[in-house]
Each structure stands twice: as structure tokens, then as C-alpha cells.
Structure 1
Amino acid sequence: MHNIDRETIQKLTQEIYKDLLTYRRQLHQNPELSFEENETARYISQILRNHDIPIREGIAGTGIIATIQGERGTGRTIALRADMDALPIREATGLPFASQNNGVMHACGHDAHSASLLGTGIILNRLKKQWGGTILLIFQPGEEKFPGGASLILKEGALNHPRPDLIIGQHVLPEMASGNVGFKKGMYMASGDEVYITVNGKGGHAAMPHTLNDTILAASQVIVNLQQIVSRIVPANIPTVLSFGHIEGKGATNIIPEEVAIAGTLRTMNEDWRSRIKDKIRHIAETTAATYGCRAEVDIKDGYPMVLNNEEVTARAQELATEYLGKAHVETMETRMTAEDFGFYSQEFPATFYRFGVRQNDGETGALHTPRFNLNEKSLETSCGLMTWVALNMLQP
């Protein structure tokens, strides 16, 4: 057990707030794409070394895992995760610390996630004589790009020694007021797979459709028929989305092409049905194309599994958030059909993944993954302090 009260954590968080701003702004100004976070990793590693926190580097390429050992008795091993990568977006915020890497931007808040975790680690390390157990700080690469840095960290066995008893992650939410947090027990975020279908046939002159296979018509019907998977095949109580955002047939007004390419995304909240839906997609695409004398080749690239928030861990984290912030600042979230590679961790360990609000009080916050996303930096106090408080109080079963 520890004897640290929330006022102590709040005070320490306030004391390092200027450091949190420095970390966040340095990361924001120097964003790097997925699996290219070399300078980001060097910067984070140096801060951890400056605070005498032991680290392992080169995890899944550029990742870092820091270990803080409590010195007061025994306790659980808890992993805290932040992602480091940015997006291929040209920033348009006009901030004095806007991205200096043209066409690359921290438009999903990963700079804030990493800065917050650095602060959490610094506070926990400062107090390590007062608590028992082990804290792992995961600075993860490549959340935004398949196969996802989380999957590679697990594949490498980087979390096997020591193995966490549970893992906690957090993420910015621009629609939520700064100072608030949100939790959702059970299924929270969807799996995310990429679906690629190529329809092949005999092309030709559009004025003589009887002499060819109409690949455009076949591809269109494939898309229409695949919508039946959600509306008529998957149980209505399993949230599922199958959407196609790309169709390309390089013909002309009077040319039916030999090939049409289709690409889309599959999202669902049930891992068993996730596998079964893929078989349905292949069957429907192939048989529909065959009806028009065409062939369909289906390639489904496995993405991220669903984020499953452990009921007990999430309930406890929400209870601790209420203690730390007050009931008025803790919200219950809805399920989201967006995906997160934190899902890999949640399939492996008891986990909770929650949101912290970053909405501006005045001015534009912008949406995630847009050039004008601009989070409220005051939220760093909430994200850093709360994760510290939750981790400390979960070290004992």
C-alpha cells in the first residue's frame, strides 16, 4: 500500500506542468511518421535518463519501455502506454510551435499522450520509496499504421519479463471538455480490417455490352450485395460496419475496363464474427462477380482487434477518476467504431482505455486527423495526474 494522497499528486503535477508543456511542444514541433520516430525516441529516452529511469530501447524498431520499481513492499506490475507517431497531414493551426516537418503533424494527440506519460513516470519515480510494485512505461511506435506497433511489441515478447498484470492507456477527445475524462466498460472500440477486391473480366466497347463482361456493373453489384452482411447476416446486437471508400475502373465513356478495384474497411465488435464476416465477404464477392461472367479476387488485410475494456479494471479506474477529479468531471462513453491498436493489448491483458477531454475553452479545437486540430494544453494536468493516481492505486489487488 502507499500513503500518498491525491493532493500530493495534484501538487506535483502542477509543479511539472511547465515541463509537460515543453515536452508536448517539442514533440509537436518535430513530428515523425509511423515507425520513423527516431528523433522522437531519442528525445524521450534522454528525458527518462535525466530522471534516472531505466529504459529498454529499440522495441518494435523505435519503441521504448521504461521500468520504475517501487521500493515499499510488493505489488502488481502495471503497464502504462502512450503512442509516439504522427500523421501525414500538413498543419494549419498557425501555432508558434507548429510542425517543422512539412506534411507531417501530430493531429491525433500522440504528442500529448507521450508528454503525459513522461510526466507520470517522473512523478512515480520521485515517489517510488512510498509504493510497492512495478510500473512499465510503454512509448509505442506506429499506432497509425498496420500492423500496429502494439502487435510488434507483443510479438517480440517485450512485455513477457516482467509480464503486466494489467495495462492502461488514454487518448485525447476534442469533443469533451478539458478537465473531464470518459470511461466505457466492455466493448469500446471496433476492430479494423482493410478489404481489397479486384473484379476481372473481358473488357471492350461500351456500345457492345453483349461482347464483353461488364466489370463496372459487376463491381457495383458486389458492393450492393455486400451490404447485406451488415443488414441481414450479422446479428443486430453486434455493432458492425462495412464501408467502401474507393472504386477505380480505368475505362472511359465508351470503354468497359478489364479490371475494377474496390477498397473498404470492416469494423466490428465481436472477434468471432470478425472472422466469419471475412468468409462471407469472399463468398458474396466471388459468386456475385461470377454471375456477370467475371472473377473477384478478395484480399482482406487483418488490422487491429477490438478494444475490450476489462469490466473490473475499468470500473476501478472510473472510481479512482471520480475520487481524483470529482463526479462532475467523469463521463460514461459510448462505443466507437474507430479502431486503435491498443486492442492488441486488451486481447492479451486485463486493460482499460479511456479518454481525456481537450476541447478549447475559447477558439477552435478542430477534429482529430485534421490540419487544424489544436488541443487545450491545460488538459495535460488532468491526463498526467490522473494516470499517476490510477496507477498508484491499482498496484495493490
Structure 2
Amino acid sequence: MDFGTEIRRKAAELAAKAVARRRHMHQNPELSFQEQRTSAWIMSQLQEMGIPAQPGIGGNGIRAVIHGEKPGPVIALRADFDALPITELNEIPFKSCNPGVMHACGHDAHTAILLTAGEILWSLRRDLGGTVVLIFQPGEEKTPGGAQGMIAQGVLENPDVQRILGEHINPSLEAGTVGFRPGLMMASADELYLTVKGRGGHAASPHMVVDPISIASQIIVGLQQVVSRNANPEIPSVLSFGRILGDGAMNVIPDQVVIAGTFRTVDETWRADALERIQTMAVQTARAMGADCEVHIDHGYPVVHNDEALTRRARAAAEEYLGPEHVVDLPLVMWAEDFAYFGRRVPGCFYNLGVANTQKGWNSPLHSPTLMIDERALETGAGLMAFLAVQELRDAHESQ
């Protein structure tokens, strides 16, 4: 069978269904680890197709298994399905119906693509040599992430997965384009929560207070030294603070200030050293100014490291399916993904799917309240994911 031709035909045939699936999810987003309705809807889609599936893995996670009628290896495909606490600003017919919650990271597209790729592969099962496991993962946006729970409950076992593929939309790439990067692809990510405790009072009497706002400001500025003067310049590192809350008033200095931020890097030894430095510097800066600082660190996802051989094969398959002009090399980015945990257990490849349409102005970044995607990318993404699975089954079978 000419799998490429058949998969292209099926992807085109199912394109409208992929769009409908994505729009349903976009209109009905749910936050991390609260995705009960989304999980039930995914199960209904799989049941409608006749694909055997098991819910409740790692909470709201789902595993579906497509057994080919010929023997062969086991390949997994993964998508996530949680949304973000963002108020959507797009005025579209399928705008989020859940106030303050939005699929602003493309997980609606990821799930629609995996469902549609699964439908394609299910139609080809009589010609498949091996097994494809579909992993629908909750909770990617919130540490500790949903991947670890699914792995702990055996999502990669029985049948034992040998390789795994996943994709993420990229609004900086035009629709119809995909990107790959072998080796180190994405950073680790740790969450930082600092509480500076002083003594509040009247803003007109600063000599009678211990001003946590001033001290918190010194801590934020001082902590930039961790990266600028302690990190090896050859090791990419980012330290950013996105929240500072001092609940005082124009003339009221509060008792405490809460700060939240993130530290990201690509080296595990430096990661541990940097986190220790952050804690020590924050505590000592506050103490030197007469205050206390409590530091809580949520250790987040490790680096995403793509298996080089698997990624080279996937890139070559993408060139075959889409044409070399539609496949690009990706730079290292400081985003983070709990797909990293899957890649620590079995060889993995995480790649990007272009969804931008610059002419229409659809190129807002991820996590933006105005994120829009060119839905033609859903056909590309579903067909490519199915083709990558088929090619990897064949390559893995031939290498055994």
C-alpha cells in the first residue's frame, strides 16, 4: 500500500471533522486537572470510531490502542487537552464559553489532531505492522503535570511502548510548515514563590516600618545577578518574575509582599546550583534589611531532549509527506513541556506544527488571549502524525 497517498486522502476527507473537534474543545475549555467533561468527550469520540480506550489513567487521562493485524513494534502518539486561566479576547462563533478559561496554548488543536490521526490509523489497521498507542494527557499546564501520573499508572506498558511522538503548535511558523530539532529542544522550568515579611504601617512614617515592598524590589533586582554573574554564558538561562502583590494602598505599607516567578535552564547541574543561590540570596537580602523571606520552589519539568535518531527519521518522513520546503530546523527555546518525562522513559520526538496565517494577522504568541490558528493546519497535523507513526512502525520493524 502507498501509505502516503492513502493518508493524504483520508486527512483531506476528515479535515472538516478535525475542525469541528477543535472548535468544540475551544468553546469548552477546562483548567488543568479539572478536565472531566473534556475527558468524557474524548472518550465519546473514540467510542464512536470504535477504537478501544481506557479512561482514568493518571486522573483524567485516556489511553487508546490500535493493534495492527500484522506483528510489529509499539509506537505512542501523545496530545494534551487542558486549558489556561486566560480570558479570551477573540470574537469568534466558537469563543470560550467558560469565563476566564481559554485554549490559548493550542491543546484543543493537539487533541483534535490526535483524534483524527487515530481515526486515519484505525482505518488502516489491517495493513499496519505493529501497534499504535494514543495518549490523551491532562494537566500539562500545571506542575507536577499529567505525564508523570499517567506513566506511574502504566500508560507506556502492556503493550510496552518503544518510541513516542508528540507535537505542539507554533504560531511563529506558517500553516503547512513543521519544525524539528534533534537533541536538546526545550528548557527545564521551576516555579518560584517568595513571601517577604516585614512590618506594615503609615507610608508617611517609613522609619517605623519594615517596608516589604522596597525589600521585595531589592530582591527581584538582586536575583538577576544569579543569571548575569553566576551562569556560564554557554548555558542558556532565564529568570523572570511575573507577579508581585503588595496589598497596601497609596499611603499604607503592607506587612508582606508575595512574588512569583520562573527559572529555566538546560543544564541539570547548574539548575540545582541556581535554585540554591536564589533561595540563599533572597533570604539573606531580606534579613539584611530587617525582614524575613520565605522561599518555596516547585521543581517543574526537566529539559525536553529529542532522541536524535528518531528525530532524524521523523524529519525525513515529514519531508516525504509534505515536501522538504515545508520542513524547517527549530531553535532551542526556553519553553517547557512535561512531554520530557515520556522522553526519559523511551526514545521520544517532540516537533512543532505551524499554525500562523500572517496575511490574516493570525500570529499572536502562545498563552495570548488573542491566539488564533489557521485551521488548515489541522489537516496537515493529523495526516503527518499518522504518516510518522506508520513510517516509524516500518522503520522499527526493519531494524529489529
2:218 matched to 1:221? yes
Cα deviation, residue 193, structure 1: 1.4
Written as runs of structure 1 = structure 2, the 5 A alignment for 1:227-266 is 227-252=224-249, 256-266=253-263
| Equivalent pair of 1:4/1:130 in contact (CA under 8 Å) | no
Cα deviation, residue 136, structure 1: 0.7
For 1:176, the equivalent position in structure 2 comes to 173
Task: Give distance in 1, aligned partners of 2:120 and 2:345.
Answer: 27
Written as runs of structure 1 = structure 2, the 5 A alignment for 1:149-188 is 149-188=146-185
Task: Give distance in 2, aligned partners of 1:192 and 1:81.
Answer: 20
* Greater Cα shift, 257-266 or 244-253: 244-253
2:398 matched to 1:380? no
Task: Give distance in 2, aligned partners of 1:59 and 1:311.
Answer: 29
* Greater Cα shift, 30-39 or 209-218: 209-218
Letter in 1 for 2:384: L
Task: Give distance in 2, aligned partners of 1:55 and 1:144.
Answer: 24
Structure 2: unaligned runs, 5 residues or longer: none
Distance 1:61 1:211, change over 3 A: same
Task: Give distance in 2, aligned partners of 1:96 and 1:253.
Answer: 43
2:315 matched to 1:318? yes
Q: 1:286 aligns with which of 283, 286, 303?
A: 283
For 1:9, the equivalent position in structure 2 comes to 7
2:40 matched to 1:50? no
Letter in 1 for 2:356: R
Cα deviation, residue 195, structure 1: 0.6
* Greater Cα shift, 278-287 or 242-251: 242-251
Find the residue that maps to 1:133 and give its secondary structure: strand
Task: Give distance in 2, aligned partners of 1:252 and 1:73.
Answer: 69
Distance 1:21 1:220, change over 3 A: closer
Distance 1:256 1:87, change over 3 A: closer
* Greater Cα shift, 218-227 or 260-269: 218-227
Task: Give distance in 1, aligned partners of 2:354 and 2:274.
Answer: 34
Task: Give distance in 2, aligned partners of 1:202 and 1:89.
Answer: 34
2:108 matched to 1:111? yes
Q: Deviations over 1:179-215 (max 9, x none)?
A: 1001112221122211111222344555665555443
Distance 1:245 1:111, change over 3 A: closer
For 1:38, the equivalent position in structure 2 comes to 36
For 1:328, the equivalent position in structure 2 comes to 325
Task: Give distance in 1, aligned partners of 2:203 and 2:93.
Answer: 56
For 2:71, the equivalent position in structure 1 comes to 73
* Greater Cα shift, 236-245 or 26-35: 26-35
Distance 1:201 1:27, change over 3 A: closer
Task: Give distance in 1, aligned partners of 2:26 and 2:203.
Answer: 52
Task: Give distance in 2, aligned partners of 1:215 and 1:26.
Answer: 46
Cα deviation, residue 159, structure 1: 2.1
For 1:62, the equivalent position in structure 2 comes to 60
Letter in 1 for 2:110: H
For 2:365, the equivalent position in structure 1 comes to 367
Distance 1:361 1:293, change over 3 A: closer
Q: Deviations over 1:229-280 (max 9, x none)?
A: 1112121111111112222334456654432322211111122322221111
Task: Give distance in 1, aligned partners of 2:307 and 2:284.
Answer: 40
Cα deviation, residue 362, structure 1: 4.2
For 1:143, the equivalent position in structure 2 comes to 140
Cα deviation, residue 26, structure 1: 2.1
Find the residue that maps to 1:99 and give its secondary structure: coil
User: What is the number of residues matched between the two proteins?
Assistant: 394
Cα deviation, residue 97, structure 1: 2.6
Cα deviation, residue 348, structure 1: 2.5
For 1:101, the equivalent position in structure 2 comes to 98
Letter in 1 for 2:56: G
- Percent identity, please: 48
2:342 matched to 1:345? yes
Task: Give distance in 1, aligned partners of 2:211 and 2:96.
Answer: 48
Task: Give distance in 1, aligned partners of 2:177 and 2:368.
Answer: 22
2:129 matched to 1:129? no
* Greater Cα shift, 16-25 or 57-66: 16-25
* Greater Cα shift, 277-286 or 208-217: 208-217
Task: Give distance in 2, aligned partners of 1:34 and 1:68.
Answer: 27
Q: Deviations over 1:77-124 (max 9, x none)?
A: 111011112223333333223333333322222111111111111111
TM, length-normalised to structure 2: 0.92
Letter in 1 for 2:320: E
Task: Give distance in 2, aligned partners of 1:28 and 1:310.
Answer: 32
